[in-house]
Amino acid sequence: MKVAVVGATGMVGEVMLKVLAERDFPISELLLVASERSIGKKLTYKDKEHTVIGLADAVAARPDIAIFSAGGGTSLEWAPKFAEVGTTVIDNSSAWRMDPTKKLVVPEINAHVLTSEDKIIANPNCSTIQMVMALDPLHKKYGMKRVIVSTYQSVSGTGVKAVEQMENEAAGVQGEMAYPYPIHRNALPHCDVFLENGYTKEEMKLAREPQKILDDRTFSVTATAVRIPTAGGHSESVNVEFYNDFDLSEVRKLLSETPGITVQDNPDTNTYPMPIYANGKDDVFVGRIRRDETQPNTLNMWVVSDNLRKGAATNAVQIAEYLVENNLV
């Protein structure tokens, strides 16, 4: 496989290379691609030094797969150019997610929808991925009616400038601001830009993407997305109303038997998911599983995942693995 990683010098790009190496993805030639200002930089992959190239050179090289993590604008402009030369693009931005002609994929849930004709494949939003991982087996069993989710999202989801802002503030250093307010010792109910309906783009991604991934418009999702001063890992408080009643022990069993999910749920030993322990791991962690006692057929749970891994890089690499294993590239 000739593989291009577009946005290789960014936070997700770095994790992408780490995940490709860890999972020993079959690469015969690796192209590390970034913006003009990064061309010529040296990066190491599996003890071999690579020189960063530009997008035009990468298209000319006609890679089999290009994994994009370079922002929506870059994806909209360049993904079609790669697709035109026969490259299969796996895009980590929001550019193609809600395009009705593009697949939105979490491999454990809906990789089966992919065909060799899919030349641009969308990777879902990081918060969406971990939520649908936990919801999918429960929806199949009990039928979701409505989901209320509140997120507690790491600054790494914004990028390196946000991490630097938090670290500067913790150290009492004046620096560049990624957010309109301090993030250290604070919580910002503001992820992405506000829309006319009063929700942010992040909140609307959480509302719309699950319906497309699960191929079901019969349930609804309402979200409040909050940025908190953690360096890595997103957490979510998820309240799910089902059409059918459930047994809590069966819920725990269903989740624990789902590939990619680890159940951590024992109040007696203070066992529950936390971003500090999800950091660097690929699983989605689920705990605080309990019945909502205010209305029938309703469940509360706490869902945590490393947003740069399963929420971005790992999910994209898993899509690439599925394509290779099924001879779709």
Q: Give the tens place of pLDDT for each residue, 275-307.
A: 999 999 999 999 999 999 999 999 999 999 999
pLDDT at 150: 98
DSSP letter at 117? T
Task: Identify whether the C-beta of residue 133 lies closer than 8 Å to the C-beta of residue 261.
Answer: yes
Q: Which of 50, 112, 126, 190 is catalytic?
A: 126
Clarify whether residues 265 and 156 are in a common domain. yes
Average per-residue pLDDT in the chain?
97
Q: Tokens standing for 58? A: 């990468």
Clarify whether residues 102 and 231 are in a common domain. no
Active site residue 126: yes
Clarify whether residues 49 and 142 are in a common domain. no
Domain hosting residue 46, numbered range: 2-124+312-325
Residue 9 assigned ligand-binding role: yes
Clarify whether residues 288 and 320 are in a common domain. no
CATH number for the domain spanning 207: value is 3.30.360.10
Residue 290 assigned ligand-binding role: no
Residue 146 assigned ligand-binding role: no
* Average pLDDT score over residue span 42-51: 95
Clarify whether residues 24 and 85 are in a common domain. yes
**Secondary structure E strands in the chain:** 2-6, 29-33, 42-45, 48-51, 65-68, 88-91, 103-104, 120-122, 144-153, 220-227, 234-242, 261-263, 284-291, 298-305
Number of domains in the chain: 2
* Average pLDDT score over residue span 137-166: 97
Clarify whether residues 18 and 70 are in a common domain. yes
Residue 7 assigned ligand-binding role: no
Helix (H/G/I), strand (E/B), else coil: 149? strand
Clarify whether residues 200 and 270 are in a common domain. yes
Query: pLDDT-based confidence at 156, cuts 50/70/90?
Result: very high
- Global confidence as pTM: 0.96
Residue 10 assigned ligand-binding role: yes
Clarify whether residues 96 and 149 are in a common domain. no
Q: How far is CA 254 from the centre of its chain?
A: 22
Clarify whether residues 320 and 259 are in a common domain. no
Clarify whether residues 13 and 136 are in a common domain. no
Clarify whether residues 6 and 117 are in a common domain. yes
Q: Which of 50, 139, 191, 234 is catalytic?
A: 234
Active site residue 234: yes
Q: Summarize pLDDT for 202-236 with one digit per residue, the tens.
A: 999 999 999 999 999 999 999 999 999 999 999 99
Instruction: Compute φ and ψ for 109, nearest 5 degrees.
Output: -105, -50
Clarify whether residues 52 and 158 are in a common domain. no
